[in-house]
Every structure is written in C-alpha cells, then in structure tokens.
Structure 1
Amino acid sequence: MIPAIPDALPPLPKRSVGMWLRGDWHMHCRHSTDSTNNPQSRIIGFAERLGFDYLVITDHDVHVHGAVAQHTWADPEYRSDKLLLFYGAELTAPRGHVNILSPEPYNHQRIFDARNARDWHLLELKQELGVHWSANHPNHKNHYGFSWDLADSVEIWNTSIWPKNMISVRMWDDQLLSGRMIGARGGSDAHHGIPDDPALIVPQTIEGSANYVGTPTTWIFANDRTKPAILAALKAGRASVSSNPYNPRVEFYADIAGNGQFDMMMGDNARPTGAPVTFEVRLVGGGIAGAAYQVRVIKNRGELATMVTDAASRSVRFTDTPLPGERSYYRVEVEGPQAPYPEVPNSMAQSLNMVALSNPIYFNYDPNF
C-alpha cells in the first residue's frame, strides 16, 4: 500500500509536561562470548557514575541459544537503584541484527526460535509479546535484512566511529522519504570494558578505549521517568543523539501556527497550512563554551540549508513552507568541536566533527503506515 496524505491527523500533544532522559540502547556484557572485561556491574556502575537515566544490555541471543532470561537477565548484577534497566537482547540472525526491547521480562526464546520465520509471522509474534523491534546498524556487515514494516525504531549511529554510520543515515532517510515514520536512536554496541589502569589503554584499540557507554548517547523526551514512557517516546521519534554525554543535546522545534509559540517538536506530525513555518534548533547543555556549531538542515533527504549557531544563545532559526498537498519531513545534523569524554579518552577522534543529530518533524504523514 502506498501511503496517502491523510484526511485528518490527531491533534498535537501538549509539551507542558515531559523530561529529557539519556542512556545507551546497545551494550554487551560477559554473557556475549565476544565480550571481554565487561561484567554487568562494571557497565551499570559506569553509567550510574555518569548520571545516565536508562540502560539496556543486549547480549547476542545466538551465544546462549536464545536463553537470555537464564543468563543476562538472571545475573544478580543486573540491578540498579539509579538506572531504569530495560530487558532486551540482540536478535542475531542470518537476515541481520535486531535489538528487542521491553520494560519487563518477555519470552525471548520464542523470538529466537522464530528468527528465520516469514516477516508477517514475526510481526504477529512481536505484537503478541508487546516488544519494541529496533533495527540495528542497517548498513554494517551484519546488516538489517528484515522488513522495515517490523521496525519501531532504527539505530542510525552505532559506536563512536561516525563515518561507518553515514550510509545507515541515508537508508533511514530513504525510509522516511517513502512515508514511514521511524524513530532513530544511537547505540554504542560496546563489547569490551575500559582497563582500570589508564596506562593499559592502547590508543590504537577502538574497543575498550574509544567506544563505551554513551558513545553515542541517546536523549529521550518522555512524558515521565518510566520505562513504558521512554519506549513510547523512542518509537514516536522524540529523541536526539549526541556523540558523547558531554556534548550538547540537540532539540528541534517548529511554530506551525505562526503565533511565536513552538508547538511542534521532533516526532510530531501535522497538516501544514500553506503559510511559512518557523523552525528553531537549540543546543542544550555540554559542549565547548563559546564554540560555533554548524547546523545542516535536511528536508526530504536533501540539504535545505546550513547555518552557524550564535555563540551566546547556541540556537538558530530558519523558515520554510511545507506544502499542504505534499508530504515532507525536516531533521538536523550538528557539526563542530567534540567535547572531551575523559572516561573514554579516544572517542573524540573517532566521531570526527559530528556532534549530534535530531529526529524529524513531519508534515502530512500517515501515522498508520
């Protein structure tokens, strides 16, 4: 079915209540056989010290024949009084890798056993179990080969190495242009722990010295600090991604009513009026004091504009007119100096000048497609 422009759209949600929460959606501990020096207590303790809000450890299910509940989840170290810990695993199948995410334990064995089933059977199983299906690193060697109709979100920034993600972002743009509303996230996909002794850190080694918790960091705007609210916001695309937790969070808003009030944010979808819409990009927290950041605006897979933030306000505004008879989306990418990440000292060089990116703001999208 080709998505049509809907006759009517739900009203925009009110933004008076909500909070930004940060975390990492893709981690491996010692229960993945290709992980080293990375027990759960090490990962969780690290995230707690950095003030993260949520985390999930997604071990490879193929390493334990699908029995993640008896390994990763049953590990007494999988607990925290500070973090919201999700339940999940990385479905590791011939057609690619998928992070299965849930607020509470679910029957992952059934998903593992059905990993080679037809996509429509997997869709039925996903819906029955009530889990979130997130496409992992779609362009990497373990590419995403399942139907995009299964995906609730997509990992467009995997590990601290930014260049390896550029084609994944293009693939996401392709899906957005086709009419799909797919929330984007990051995930460090870290497999190895950083040595306790800084003298043992090898600069040439990516894993363990340049890629760990928060490279990248995914910021979620959730209605409240609960796991269901966070997953709902991820699916809705109310999220942005920063290369590390010390870089600024990018927030993206639009004033569709033309009254000076920004009534749309990332993930929102509205019918355009035919009048110009004012957009605002804000960089919040972190970063380099006084630095100028370059903001690239992407509209319908093409570059619409490039601007530089004001050093004082750390924001930019632009105006464009989404047409009433067409479907369109806008998102932004932010480049500039990398904020140091002292706990993961070699991550900055891997991310180059890519600092952050946003999810889209949509116009005339069919939310049921």
Structure 2
Amino acid sequence: MTVSPQQSGIWLKGDWHMHSCHSTDSTNNTPSRIIRFAERMGFDYLAITDHDVHVQGAVAQHTWVDPEYRSDLVLLFYGAELTAPRGHVNILAAEPYDHQRVFDARNARDWNLLKLKQELGIHWSANHPNHKNHYGFSFDLADSVEIWNTSVWPKNVASVRIWDDQLLSGRMIGARGGSDNHHGMPDDPALIGPLTREATGNYVGTPTTWVFAAERSKAALLQALKHGRASISSNPYNPRVELVADCDGDGRFETTMGDNVMPSGGPVTFEVRLSEGGIPRANYEVRIIRNRSEFATIFTDAVTRTARFVDSPHADEWTYYRVEVMGPQAPYPEVPNSMALSQNMVALSNPIYFNFDPSF
C-alpha cells in the first residue's frame, strides 16, 4: 500500500475478479494457491468471485466457508459472480450477506433487483460488458464496471467504448479491472497444457486495480471504487496512473479522479502522474479522452514521470476527462506471457467530471 502525499488516503492494489476450484470451470486454482500468491506479491485486497450458478447460489456454503479462504495480510471480500441469462455481475461486500437471495432473483426486473441490492447493502459491478456473456442488466444498477478483463487488451477495447457511452450519457460509473483467472500457475512448466496455459499469461493482477481509499478497510475500498477513485495497470509492476487537476488556477492540484466540479468556463490545468513501477526513464504516451473522443496525445517526462495539458470545460454542459497510458510493458516474471497479451496498453485512469448530476 502507498500513502498519497497530496490527499488523506491510501493507495491499495488488488484484483476484483477471479475463480477458485469452487467454480467448476476452474482447474488447479485453490483459494490457498490464489491467496498465497497474492501475499507474496504484496497485494492489499482480493475478491474471489466464484460462479454462483455452479452451486445454485450457495457460495456461502462453499467458497466462503473453505478453511483456505483466509489471510492475515490481504483483505478478502465476500462475493460471487452472478451468472445469469442476462449476463454476469460481480457481487461484492465487506461482510457476509445473503447471496442466495441474489441468485434466486437473477431473472427479476431491474427495479426489483435495485431494491434488493439496496436492502442487502452490496456492491453491484458489471462484468465484461463486451463478451459472449455480456452485461445485460440496466447500468442504473451498476456501482462500477469492469472495463479491463484478463491480460488480453484487444478484447477490452469495446468494453471501454461501452463505458464511454455510459459516461457520455451523464452516468458517473467507476471503472475497475479483473483478471477473471480460472487456472492456477502450474508447479512444473512441463505440465503446462490447454487448461493451465492461461495461467502463464493471465493470473492474479493482470490487470491490477489501484484504489485510493480513505483507510485500509474493505468498506473504504468499496466506497472509493464506487466513486471512481481508482486506476488500472496491466500488471502490478507497471506504473499507477493518476489524473489530477488545478481548477481554480492557484497552482494546487486539488481535484482528482472521481471528483465532480462545477466549471467556471475558464482554463483548467490537468496533470498526469505515474507512480510505483514501470520502465526507468521511459517516455510514456498518454492519450487524453474528452467525452469519448481523443482530445490530445502527450508524453510523460522521463524524469518527473508527469505530463500536463490545459482545457476549458464548458460551464453549461457536462464534460469528463480520462487518460490511457501506452508504452513498454514492465516484466511480470511470475506471469511471463501477460506482457505480450497486453500489447502496449499500460494503464487507464478513471475520469474527472465537470458539471455532472450525481443523482443520475
């Protein structure tokens, strides 16, 4: 975990979507294998989200009670992947909840699911919106959306566009990643076969989601994820990207990802910051996305690892800005084939919003 020098809070890294052997399409991937790997890698949190349909909704009697499902080092969430005809949803919670009710209501109308979500106090995260099992529920239900699923970057481009469509419609939806890994790393490379080959290119942390939480707790993580105080890196050795802004021209970058500002119509200075890992002295390419369209392309300074741009969001319409970082992949020796699958996509930020309606 990393303490931010700019604001009160802690950066925590982890993975929001993975499967253990309690999912019947998972192999060689016990909870202890996943958790011990995450502990060795220094991850702060994990969500093992097994398919609920494989146990007819009874995840509380399978994954959650598995004696291997414990850690003194990593914050472990309670949850499951709601696997329904209308698509897949990661249900996440800090404490145990009645997942059976969610599973039994999987074909209910969206407004009834919204009431159930609110009653149970769960986080509803839309999984892989562009996928053979694409998300088909209303985005009004979603507290967050998975825009980066597995290490294979090209398959996620359409998901990012779907997220952009939701943002452009006026919704403020925090984005996250999820490795969606199903198969454990083989103990012996000679044993790599069709089912375990995935592990050498996709495992815990491909991608890694960084969340800026008020404190190191599961409740704070979920609150920060919902508010978009997060960014995504293709692996834990790559840079964490932050997008901040000086909206009043006082030289202080007081605005960060997930914030919603009422603009004056004057110029706003934005700064892109790369922290943590990455390739030393690399100049990373930064694509600035403004309201779904590419606004500009800039490059980070090799020494300061920052880049700035200026724009004037209109006072009478909503505008959002987010960034995508391209460049050389930092090696992930523990998952050696992931770098090639991610191609040159290194990191993504959540947006800074201007003039949005938070009640939308």
Q: Tell me, yes or no, whether TM beats 0.5.
A: yes
Q: TM-score, normalised by structure 2?
A: 0.97
Check conservation: 1:202, 1:209, Cα contact below 8 A. no
User: C-alpha displacement at 1:199, in angstroms?
Assistant: 3.9
Q: Which residue of 2 aligns with 1:264?
A: 255
Moved more, 281-290 or 232-241: 281-290
Distance in 2 (alpha carbons) for counterparts of 1:188 and 1:339: 17
Instruction: Report the Cα offset of residue 348 of structure 1.
Output: 0.5
For residue 365 of structure 1, the aligned residue among 353, 356, 359 is: 356
Residue of structure 1 equivalent to 2:93: 102
Q: Counterpart of 1:75?
A: 66
Q: Which residue of 1 aligns with 2:281?
A: 290
Shift of 1:207: 1.3
Find the counterpart in structure 2 of residue 5 from structure 1.
none
Correspondence list, 1:140-219, <5 A: 140-201=131-192, 206-219=197-210
Of 18, 27, 30, the residue aligned with 1:27 is: 18
Could you tell me how far 1:316 is from its partner in structure 2?
0.2
Is 1:312 aligned with 2:303?
A: yes
Which position in structure 1 is the counterpart of 2:243?
A: 252
The answer to whether the Cα contact below 8 Å between 1:203 and 1:209 also exists between their aligned partners in 2 is no
The 3-state SS of whatever aligns with 1:208 is: helix
| Structure 2 residue 317 is matched with structure 1 residue 302 | no
Deviates more, 1:15-24 or 1:35-44: 15-24
Deviation at 1:273, TM superposition (A): 1.2
Residues 190-242 of structure 1 show CA distances to partners (whole Å, capped at 9, x for unaligned) of 00001012344469975111000000000000000010000000000000000
Tell me the alpha carbon deviations over residues 253-312 of structure 1, each in whole angstroms, 9 at most, x when there is no partner: 000011000010000001001110000000101111111110000000000000111111
- Note the aligned Cα RMSD (angstroms): 1.3
Q: Does 1:17 align with 2:8?
A: yes
Partner of 2:234: 243
Equivalent in the alignment of 1:136: 127
Contact 1:237 1:360 in 2 (8 A): yes
CA contact (8 A) 2:186 2:196 kept: no
Asked whether the equivalents of residues 295 and 332 of structure 1 are also in contact (C-alpha less than 8 Å), the reply is yes
Give the one of 222, 233, 238 matched to 1:231. Answer: 222
Structure 2 segments unaligned to the other structure (5+ residues): none
**Does the C-alpha gap of structure 1 residues 206 and 180 become closer, same or farther in structure 2, counting only changes over 3 Å?**
farther
Q: TM-score, normalised by structure 1?
A: 0.95
Q: Aligned with 1:165: secondary structure?
A: helix
Please name the residue that 2:33 is paired with.
Answer: 42
AA matched with 1:307? I
User: What stretches of structure 1 of length at least 5 have no aligned partner?
Assistant: 1-13
Offset, 1:122: 0.2
Distance 1:203 1:121, change over 3 A: closer
Cα distance change on mapping 1:330 and 1:93 into 2, 3 Å = same
**Range moving further from structure 2, 125-134 or 306-315:** 306-315
Specify whether residues 114 and 343 from structure 1 end up closer, same or farther in structure 2 by C-alpha distance, changes over 3 A only.
same
Distance 1:176 1:91 in 2: 24
Q: Is the 8 A contact 1:209 1:344 kept in 2?
A: yes
Letter in 1 for 2:341: Q
Deviation per residue, 1:134-182 (Å, 9 max, x gap): 0000000000000000000000000000000000000000000000000
8 Å contact 1:249–1:284 — kept in the other structure? yes
Structure 2: distance between partners of 1:115 and 1:181: 24
Secondary structure at 1:56's aligned position in 2? strand
- Given residue 32 of structure 1, which amino acid in structure 2 is its aligned partner? S
- Write the distance in 1 (CA, Å) between the matches of 2:198 and 2:143: 28
Distance in 2 (alpha carbons) for counterparts of 1:340 and 1:364: 40
Identify which of 99, 105, 129 aligns with 1:114: 105
- Report the Cα offset of residue 16 of structure 1: 2.9
Q: Which residue of 2 aligns with 1:7?
A: none
In structure 1, C-alpha distance between the alignment counterparts of 2:197 and 2:174, rounded to whole Å: 28
